[in-house]
Structure 1
Amino acid sequence: MHVQIQPDTITKLLHSGTEFEPAGDHPREERKRAPRQATSLMECITHLSTPKGKKPVLKAMLTTACERNCFYCPFRAGRSMTRRLTFSPDEMARGFETLYRGGLVDGLFLSSGIIKGSITTQDRIIATAEIIRKRYHYDGYLHLKIMPGIQYEQLYRIMQLADRVSVNLEGPTEERLSALAPKKEFMHELLRMLQLAEQIRREHPHERLASTVTQFVVGAVGDTDLELMTLSQQLYRQMGLTRAYYSAFTPVQQTPFEQLPATSELRELRLYQASFLVRSYGWNINELPFQENGNLLTTLDPKRAWAERHLRQAPVEVMTASHARLMRVPGIGPQTASAILAARRTSRLTDLSQLRALGMANPEQAAPYLLLSGRRPLTQRTLF
């Protein structure tokens, strides 16, 4: 049954808050995903690390009806367990404004099922955002979903209105996407949207335009970590992607994938760690320690796995290593590496306690891969 929501029933807004919205830079936060409709208003509000800081963000959909039949999705066409709800742009904007004025939220992540095609659905999302920006004069955080295969003008307009837009690729290749969502086209409908978004940023360098992110469904159709990271690196370096998010597959009742096993959250965590190395530390995917099956180890994080292979027998000399070389050591990030470079100009670093004093939280973690003034550091064995 398709239900039209009355504008004065703000509590019914909770039924649209179901879409997975990535959290901040902490992978454990990013695994919070509810493939179902919410049962309380607070389930629709999550505190996210946004480009405008940490904020309580409302997660909602303009409609939970959809004409697509993505095999993993709780909102797929024909699934009777999903309650179909629809907001007009005015209703959604007014509902958000009510929550914002009440101090419950300061940000909106707005998605939608697809009804009457992507272009019509996108127009409704744009209309909602324009009401929020123009009528209610809200200048805070908006994250808006890009529908598959929309027009250039729509994409440009939504990037003007939003702080962040997302184009969910779902799979890393045409073959994987076809197995996940047979009615979506990988190149024309999805990857092309990310290419156009980067083109729009280049064509309008003086405008404040939204950043772009994407999401993958991990593990349902045989995708490998190598496939996911290969595409992620391309997106970061060629299409200006801000973040790639990885959602461990969770089976949903009354979908074609309901009998498939859930993907390990540990695999999801390793993908986030590898993505961080590529995105923020300048690693290349050929440096990541993939196994023969194309997946990362789950027993070790990728940076430590690389260090075990390359630094255990050839440790890094703290007194002479470059900034980039220091950051190859587990436990040493950009700030710690910079602190080491500054400290060694005036003193010799010979003890792990000196690294701790420089802000390194757990120098014992790095100890197996370091030399301190030509010597391997002494570490105290724990009693437990």
Structure 2
Amino acid sequence: MLTADQVAVIKQTVPALQENGEVLTRHFYERMFRENPEVLAFFNPAHQQAGTQQRALAGAICAYAQHIETPAALADAVELIAQKHVSLGIQAEHYPIVGKNLLASIQEVLGEAATPEIIDAWAAAYGALADIFINREQQIYQNQKTDFGWTGFKRFVVKKREAASDNIMSLYLVPEDGQPLQAHQPGQYITVRVSPEGGEPVMRNYSLSNRPGVDYYRISVKRELAAMDEAPNGVCSNHLHDRIEEGGMLELAPPCGAFTLQSPDEIQRPLVLMAGGVGITPLLSMLYAALDGQQGREIIFIQCALNNAVRPFGEELAALQRDYSNLTTHLRLSEPSDSDRERGDYDSEGFLDAALLRELLGERSAEFYLCGPTPMLKHTWQLLKARGVDEADVHFEFFGPAGDLAG
């Protein structure tokens, strides 16, 4: 329990954290990986290289300091992080490692400004936050055991492998032990653990793209290439594309994730699912669930892609459009190829805009679910904000470390 004096000290550090947050978190990760290399497997080096992990942590630390007296205000953020921690198998014994390196980094970055009072206050604050995460994560682990029948990693067989687009490949996975699969919540992801080239294990999260309740899990993996010269190619995605064949084995942890399709208060308002690139994967699972469980509700599925070569699940969406009269699909390509234009097998060209929303929705209110690249999410957020959509009606997920759509 933090004392009033400790709370006051934490609040006083907010300006310094806002100014030096990314310097602090960059120092923290470098220090922790050096002093405790055993935690490296929990992190994606591409996110470290791009700086997204450091920015996400800096934002989280600032938010915690600002809400130190009302941590319940951060419940959604805590749930998002706790689900991610569980997906990777993080346990209570890992928290002292983080705490030790975080406090040392505060001392080393701030120097003489990091007084004993500041270190003491942040030690107490970190301890309180760690307890919140540990307690919630233990609940999630227990829920996984109850809901899915296992925790940790379990062997699955690749039953089928197929191309979803030129750069996205789907794997259909069934448990090696033959036990039935329980339905996941639409929008959840699983964790894959592999050891590329016989090296150290790496773990990555992949959304489940299948209809909940079928007898397999399907993940649809984009081959990730380096976004910049010094960044690595996606280790896990390239391994799955190049090395994993039908009949192969993968280790999976149970479904996790806070970005899930919610039961609507009423089904009169349309449900709008807006997917960019491989961000379609959780939304496709949501689409199946909504078609099965929200009969009669108008559903609009907007898919954005560069061109048809990299547009996934075209035939699958076309079949759903034929089978369900309450579903409208719209394909918008930002850079259609010459062959796309010759065939004319897309609905519109360009980026998402207000005109398209008016065309599909008019002035009606709706509930929105978004998933895709960060620039698309930020652009779409601004479109919905300008349209007057209530924030409570907008649900979204970043691929990778969480960010801020308002930025």
The alignment's TM-score, normalised by the length of structure 1, stands at 0.30
Task: Give the number of the structure whose residues are more often helix, by fraction.
Answer: 2
The alignment's TM-score, normalised by the length of structure 2, stands at 0.29
Which structure is higher in RCO with an 8 Å CA cutoff and minimum separation 6? Answer: 2
